Structure 1
């Protein structure tokens, strides 16, 4: 609920920086009988000032129809044609005649630019476009895979399978070789392992960052040949194909006549 500054008065539009602190008035009114009454009024006024300063009534939506408060506007027709500078009353009359809304599309222009459109349809289409853009937005992700210099062949195949899956998804992969104990004196073991892995997945990715020693670890970064957006599109197509195949199979089973 919006607080009122005082009864019967105009709303307060001060900034909190312009309102003196309560301690200042308390020192001035320390021995005043009206101290309690003043404190309550001051608290209400300060709360109203803070509410106004925070911009509680400011909206990011464009002004439409009767919310437009200018004497004249530069009007754009429903098909994008330039109508020219017309009085606001005339623009509202045209909007009512076309059964459309008058929407302010450029508030900072002089005079403001307004367009005749179906505002509800415009908001719906804008929301759908934003949703589709977020759906197709690709974020670069760096996956990490850790190996040991003396890794078992079976474990190596499992780790390589994960790297292949990451590269197919369009993600970068950070390969870390962890050295322990006396293994630190044999860095060539880790280097050969990284070179072997890069050769095994060269059809899907390339060496973006060559192997380098980082303390007890050796690090290499693999980058995918496919972009993230391409991988996402292929994944959606494959999912749609699998869905269509399942629906076709279930439909064929339903059409088979029952055995007598």
Structure 2
């Protein structure tokens, strides 16, 4: 029979586990920071020096003494190793540089977008040109395009119509994209994925350059260059005019 004290401890542990799980589901995260300095609780460690050199297996006390001597931190970098691997480093500087690298990576990261374009096997030429124009625009933007051929009724017995249409479209836009996923049957539909030759970041950079060029064209040339010639000629004309007036008199 479980005592009241044992049951109380069990309830507390269960509540703590539930709280941790709920925190993770809400988007929280359990701290994954490594143990450093006096938080390391092992008798010995495999030590790596500040420049990456292998020091070897040393007692924890000796590793902490070396960390103090170099004015660095002893950081556990491989806790599951036996013995754990620790490195001498400036942990504050390491955390700052890691955070800056992660921030820069997130800033430069371009999210891949998959656009979708739906066609019929017996599509009208005008509609085909319109749909192809959309696909061209998506590929120029650096986006992937999922092409779906929708079959109806007796069209389902003619899958070669959809296959030929997809091959035709891929051939028409081959300068901008490539077949990333070959045509395949998916129920009543046939699907193909086109990928852009250019990365999203390159496409965005080119779009910004084109926008800046169009803006410069709309503004026209700077008016500062032309008036200089006029102002240079105006004094000369003004100087010649008074000289001609007395001769006429």
TM-score by length of 2: 0.54
Match of 1:114 in 2: 86
Could you report, residue by residue, the CA deviation over 1:11-49 in whole angstroms, capped at 9, with x for unpaired residues? xxx99xxxxxxxxxxxxxxxxxxxxxxxx9999999999
Q: CA deviation at 1:116?
A: 0.7
Residue 141 of structure 1: which of 113, 116, 129 is its match?
113
Change (3 A) 1:196 1:114: closer
Change (3 A) 1:114 1:153: same
Aligned length: 222
Q: Report the more deviating stretch, 91-100 or 110-119.
A: 91-100
Unaligned stretches of 5+ in structure 2? 1-6, 221-238
Which structure: greater helix fraction?
2
In structure 2, distance between residues paired with 1:44 and 1:79: 41
Change (3 A) 1:181 1:43: closer
Q: Which has the larger radius of gyration?
A: 2
Could you report, residue by residue, the CA deviation over 1:115-154 in whole angstroms, capped at 9, with x for unpaired residues? 1111122223333444455566677654321235676666
CA RMSD of aligned residues (A): 9.8
Unaligned stretches of 5+ in structure 1? 1-13, 16-39
Q: Report the more deviating stretch, 183-192 or 197-206.
A: 183-192
In structure 2, distance between residues paired with 1:242 and 1:89: 67
Q: CA deviation at 1:173?
A: 2.6
In structure 2, distance between residues paired with 1:61 and 1:255: 92
Change (3 A) 1:232 1:160: same
Change (3 A) 1:108 1:252: farther
In structure 2, distance between residues paired with 1:179 and 1:137: 38
Question: Contact (CA 8 Å) 2:24, 2:30: kept in 1 or not?
Answer: no
Match of 2:227 in 1: none
Q: Report the more deviating stretch, 239-248 or 180-189.
A: 239-248
Q: CA deviation at 1:180?
A: 6.7
In structure 1, distance between residues paired with 2:71 and 2:126: 71
SS of match in other structure, 1:127: helix
